[in-house]
Amino acid sequence: MALNVFVLTGAGVSAESGLGAFRDEGGVWTQYDLSEVATPEGFARDPAKVRAFYDARRANLAGAAPNPAHFALARLQAGLAARGGRLFLCTQNVDDLHEKAGSTNVVHMHGELAVTRCHACEATRPDPGPLDAGAACAACGAGGMARPHVVWFGEVPLFMDEIFDALEDSDLFVAIGTSGSVYPAAGFVTEARRMRIRTCEINLAPSDNARAFDERLYGPAGEVVPAWVEGLLA
C-alpha cells in the first residue's frame, strides 16, 4: 500500500554523530546563553561573538558523519517512493547529515548551518567556512552583515506553508529525537491528531509531548530508527 509519511527530526537524530543536542545535560543551551548567540538582538549587540559561536559549530559539522538513523531515513525515502508513497522529511536541524546519508528534498525549517545569509537583504549562498565579517554582500553590497542561514529565536521558521500542506497529505506523523519544546514544530503532533493522522514518537526518553502520541518507541535513534524503518517497509 502507498504510504505518505511525515518525519520531523530534531537534535537527537544527530546526537550519535557527535553533534550535541540543545537541552540535554551538557547541551548547547546549558553552555551558552541563547539570547546572546541565537537572536537578532544578540547579533546586533555583538556580531563577533555570534559569528564565533557558529564558526565553532561549522567546524564540528565538517568532521561529523551520518549515523544509522540518517541512513535508515534515506532508505525509507527510497522504499516508500518505490511503493508509490513518499517521505516528507522535515528537520529542525541545521546540519546536513540527512543529505550526507542520501536523503533528498530535506526541508530545513530552522535553516542550514553551512549556508551564509546577508542580514540586510537575506540573499543566501553555500559557505561551509568561517563567516567573513568584512565581506560585502554580492547581492546588495552591504558590509559586515554576514550571518549563518539559521532561524534565530524571534524569527519565523521557513517553509511553513509547504510543511502544513505535507502534513495534511500524510498517513503517519513521526517525531524523532526532539524534545517537543520549541514551537511551531512542537505543535505538529497536535495538528496531526486534529487531522486524524496516526502519530509516533521515537526518542531516547519521553519528550515533553509524549502523551500526545499514539505510539512511542524509546532508545538511541541509531538503533530504534533502523528497526522501525525495516518494520515499516517489510
From the annotation, which residues make up the binding site for NAD(+)?
A: 92-95, 177-179, 221
- The piece of 10-18, 53-61, 124-132, 189-197 that touches ligand OAD (CB under 6 A) is 10-18
Coil vs helix vs strand at 112: strand
- Cell triple for 226: 533502523
Please report whether residue 209 would count as binding ligand OAD according to CB under 6 A: no
Q: Which residues have a Cβ under 8 Å from the Cβ of 141 and sit 6 or more positions away?
A: none
Least CB distance to ligand OAD at residue 2 (A): 28
What ranges make up the beta strands (E) of the chain?
Answer: 4-9, 86-91, 107-108, 111-118, 124-126, 146-150, 172-176, 198-203, 215-218
Minimum distance, C-beta of residue 19 to ligand OAD, in the bound complex (Å): 10
Minimum CB distance to ligand OAD smaller for 141 or for 184: 184
For residue 21, state whether it binds ligand OAD (rule: CB under 6 A).
yes
| Catalytic residue (one of 70, 108, 110, 149) | 110
Mark 161-180 with x for binding to ligand OAD (rule: CB under 6 A) and - for no binding.
Answer: ----------------xxx-
Q: Which residue is nearest to ligand OAD (CB)?
A: 12
* 179, 205 Cβ separation under 8 angstroms: no
**DSSP label at 116?**
E
Q: Can 119 be counted among the known catalytic residues? A: no
User: Mask: binding to ligand OAD, 78-107, rule CB under 6 A, as x and -?
Assistant: --------------x---------------
Alpha carbons 216 and 138: distance in angstroms, whole number: 48
Residues flagged as binding site for Zn(2+): 118, 121, 137, 140
Q: Which of 5, 8 has the CB closer to ligand OAD?
A: 8
DSSP states along 63-80: T----HHHHHHHHHHHHH
Asked whether position 52 contacts ligand OAD by CB under 6 A, the answer is no
Residue 47 as a binder of ligand OAD (CB under 6 A): the answer is no
Instruction: Mention every residue, 6+ apart, whose C-beta is less than 8 A from residue 120.
Output: 137, 140, 142, 145
Q: Which three cell numbers stand for residue 75?
A: 532508505
User: Which distant-in-sequence residues (6+ apart) come within 8 Å of 14 by Cβ?
Assistant: 64, 67, 70, 93, 95, 97, 177
CA 56 distance to own-chain centroid: 18
Size of the site for ligand OAD (CB under 6 A): 25
Least distance CB 1 / ligand OAD (angstroms):
28
Interface residues with ligand OAD (CB under 6 A)? 10-12, 15-16, 21-24, 27, 38, 92, 110, 151, 177-179, 181-182, 203-205, 207, 220-221
